[in-house]
Amino acid sequence: MNDYIAYCGLDCEACEARIATVNYDNNLREKVAKEWSTLNGVTITPEMINCVGCRIQGPKTPYCESMCNIRQCAMVKDYETCGKCAEMMTCEKLGAIIKGNEEALQNLKK
């Protein structure tokens, strides 16, 4: 499996936080922080936009590092992704992602 596919099936390579990090793009960090703050109703600073990918060694956003219950679950179960889990299609944690994102679901089924 592509290392940039997150535990939930999202493509980290396409994530603007990762793109800003690997390109050292502070303008993009500011844009993403503002968008994510508005979207999530919390304060996210540009300094928090520092991530190389969910399953890649290196920095993660604070949410991805310690608050993402999907990532935490897959790591505890020692799964490469949620695609290895027998409960994938009925999982409440994962449901919010795969019900609204066909690409993520297909990534997990590969």
**For the chain, what are the domain ranges?**
12-109
Output 110 or 33, whichever has higher pLDDT.
Answer: 33
Mean pLDDT over 90-95 rounds to: 95
SS3 of 23-64: CCCHHHHHHHHHHHHHHHCCCCCHHHCCCCCCCCCCCCCHHH
What are the structure tokens assigned to 70, written together?
């999907």
Q: Residue 55's CB: how many other CB atoms inside 10 A?
A: 18
Contact 105/82 with Cβ under 8 angstroms? Answer: no
Rounded Cα gap, residues 15 and 7, in angstroms: 14
Confidence (pTM): 0.89
Question: For the chain, what is the mean pLDDT?
Answer: 95
Average of pLDDT values for 72-91? 96
